[in-house]
């Protein structure tokens, strides 16, 4: 398998393409909502359903991706996912009503839920652990660029073309992905196991309720207590799944893998640290527009240095991890990111532009290092038997943590607004300080790692 894996030069490119499509689509629509609303004759506020329908579909179906890939093969499921995502994109561009757009966004979501998890699972099975770090390092790069590029590209397309191109740009990427997948994607399968229908409903609905509750809370769509009730309902269903999985012969997400310390610490670290990093793409464009008076297009373009920093840092991540190890790298970089987020409280509209852009560039480099280290240590010690479940769980955690970062930072900003004794810019400054402090504290999670953790990823050459 290892020789075959080495010849699969196109496999990381396929996974990178899937990551980029998914990450870009998650953010590009936000900028275009007013234009789409005007075209379809609806209120911009009503357009949130086009975003929520996609997010909830992805949250519901990610856990199933691992089972489907094990049962039908990684290549078949991946090609089906890309086909659904591409056709869904085309249908979205041809939509004539909000109802049609929501239905086609759901079809997109079905494909989006399987694309990245299945591609990453194929990498996990194709490459020995000692070769996995540089491969995943390469693959995660587009995922960092997508959320930054999304608002900027959305603004450009809406300004100089039309909102339809927000969906149409997915089609050539999807077609190219299908051609490459047919040629390079291996069709890994695993021993057959029954589908845990009860577990799927408990786990899937819990994710839907938690995601939708965070969306409601962050967007202030309903009263805060109603949003919190939905979130609590989701956690109760999650508890129900845990009780079910302890008794089930073949649960959807197996619980014993949580005894793998690096996996559990990696997941907990993802959730805790992304509270801070997830707030930056949300808060920074808002502060630039509402506080400093920049246009939406300029505010979106000013996030570009973060993407550039993310890309440049990729060439150094492996060397940093070899020199410092995973524990010291993750603790140190998380504290540094927290301080970088807090220093945004020093910014003002009077500053020269380069003083606004330089910290965003440095933060992009730091976030890139953190994400690569975090994701690879989470997968480092998984066995072939629990690789699909563990990979699905990582995808679920990443999906939820993005929503959680926006929801928590929106709630903190709302709290400072309710105090009523400070200016808008001061409220943003206070929010950045708070989220920076939360990020610094999240570094404690990575203290649970041991010095030797992750050595199989950066030094050891072994046969699986």
Q: What is the pLDDT of residues 325-337, one digit of tens each?
A: 889 999 999 999 9
pLDDT, residue 193, reads 77
Query: What average pLDDT does the chain have?
Result: 83
Residue 307 CB contacts under 8 Å (≥ 6 apart), including other chains:
144, 145, 148, 149, 364
pLDDT at 461 over 60: no
Nearest Cα residue to 458 out of 268, 320, 266: 320
User: Token digits for 365?
Assistant: 């480099």
Task: Compare 24 and 297 and report the one with higher pLDDT.
Answer: 24
Residues written for the chain: 464
pLDDT, residue 307, reads 80
Q: Considering the chain, what percentage of its residues have pLDDT values greater than 70?
A: 92
User: Token digits for 215?
Assistant: 């969306």
DSSP string, 90-137: HHHHT--SHHHHHHHHHHHHHHHHHHHHHHHHHHHHHS-HHHHHHHHH
CA atoms of 344 and 326, how far apart (whole Å):
27
User: What is the mean pLDDT of the segment spanning 365-394?
Assistant: 84
pLDDT, residue 9, reads 67
Nearest Cα residue to 150 out of 48, 27, 58, 32: 27
Tell whether pTM > 0.85: no
pLDDT, residue 7, reads 45
For the CA atoms of the chain, what is the radius of gyration? 21
1-195 folds as: Growth Hormone; Chain: A; (1.20.1250)
User: Token digits for 279?
Assistant: 């707030």
pLDDT at 45 over 70: no
Burial of 351 (0-12, 13-18, 19+ CB in 10 A): exposed
In angstroms, how far is the first alpha carbon of the chain from the final one? 9
User: What is the mean pLDDT of the segment spanning 227-231?
Assistant: 88
Long-range contacts of 215-223 (CB under 8 A, 24+ apart): 215/48, 215/52, 215/55, 215/403, 215/407, 217/407, 217/410, 217/411, 218/403, 218/406, 218/407, 218/410, 218/411, 219/48, 219/410, 220/410, 220/414, 221/48
Q: Which pLDDT band holds residue 3 (cuts at 50, 70, 90)? A: very low
Superfamily name with CATH number, domain 257-464? MFS general substrate transporter like domains (1.20.1250.20)
pLDDT at 129 over 90: no
pLDDT, residue 431, reads 92
Handedness of CA 257, 258, 260, 265 (dihedral sign): positive
User: What is the mean pLDDT of the segment spanning 66-87?
Assistant: 92
CA atoms of 386 and 382, how far apart (whole Å):
6
Q: What is the pLDDT of residues 396-410, one digit of tens each?
A: 887 777 777 877 888
User: Token digits for 245?
Assistant: 């999985």
User: What is the mean pLDDT of the segment spanning 236-252?
Assistant: 89
pLDDT, residue 44, reads 65
- DSSP H stretches of helix in 127-223: 129-160, 165-168, 170-184, 197-219
Nearest Cα residue to 86 out of 62, 111, 54, 64: 111
Which three-class secondary structure state does DSSP give residue 275? helix
């Amino acid at each position: 398998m290892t020789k075959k894996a080495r010849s699969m030069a196109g496999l990381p490119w396929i996974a990178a393409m899937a990551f980029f499509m998914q990450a870009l689509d998650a953010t590009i629509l936000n900028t275009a909502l007013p234009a789409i609303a005007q075209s379809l004759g609806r209120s911009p506020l009503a357009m949130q359903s086009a975003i929520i329908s996609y997010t909830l579909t992805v949250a519901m179906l990610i856990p199933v991706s691992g089972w489907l890939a094990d049962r039908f093969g990684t290549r078949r499921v991946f090609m089906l996912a890309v086909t659904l995502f591409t056709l869904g994109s085309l249908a979205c561009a041809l939509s004539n009503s909000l109802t049609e757009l929501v239905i086609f966004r759901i079809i997109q979501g079905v494909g989006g839920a399987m694309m990245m998890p299945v591609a990453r699972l194929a990498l996990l099975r194709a490459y020995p652990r000692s070769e996995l770090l540089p491969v995943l390092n390469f693959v995660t790069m587009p995922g960092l660029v997508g959320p930054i590029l999304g608002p900027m590209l959305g603004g450009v397309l809406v300004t100089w073309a039309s909102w339809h191109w927000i969906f149409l740009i997915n089609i050539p990427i999807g077609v190219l992905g299908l051609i490459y997948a047919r040629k390079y994607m291996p069709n890994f399968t695993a021993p057959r196991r029954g589908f845990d229908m009860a577990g799927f409903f408990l786990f899937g609905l819990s994710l839907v309720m938690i995601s939708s509750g965070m969306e409601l809370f962050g967007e202030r769509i309903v009263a805060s207590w109603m949003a919190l009730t939905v979130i609590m309902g989701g956690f109760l269903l999650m508890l129900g799944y845990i009780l079910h999985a302890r008794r089930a012969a073949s649960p959807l997400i197996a619980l014993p893998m949580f005894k793998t310390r690096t996996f559990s610490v990696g997941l907990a670290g993802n959730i805790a640290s992304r509270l801070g990093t997830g707030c930056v793409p949300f808060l920074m464009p808002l502060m630039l527009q509402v506080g400093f008076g920049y246009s939406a297009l300029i505010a979106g373009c000013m996030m570009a240095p973060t993407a550039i920093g993310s890309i440049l840092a990729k060439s150094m991540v492996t060397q940093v991890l070899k020199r410092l190890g995973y524990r010291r790298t993750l603790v140190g970089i998380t504290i540094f990111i927290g301080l970088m987020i807090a220093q945004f409280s020093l910014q003002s509209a009077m500053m020269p532009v380069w003083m606004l852009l330089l910290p965003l560039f440095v933060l992009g480099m730091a976030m890139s290092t953190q994400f690569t280290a975090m994701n690879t240590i989470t997968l480092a010690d998984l066995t072939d038997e629990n690789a699909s479940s563990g990979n699905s769980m990582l995808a679920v955690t990443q999906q939820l943590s993005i929503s959680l970062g926006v929801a928590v930072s929106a709630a903190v900003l709302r709290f400072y607004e309710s105090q009523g004794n400070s200016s808008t810019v001061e409220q943003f400054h206070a929010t950045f300080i708070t989220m920076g402090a939360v990020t610094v504290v999240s570094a404690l999670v990575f203290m649970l790692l041991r010095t030797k953790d992750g050595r199989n990823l950066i030094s050891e050459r072994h046969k699986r």
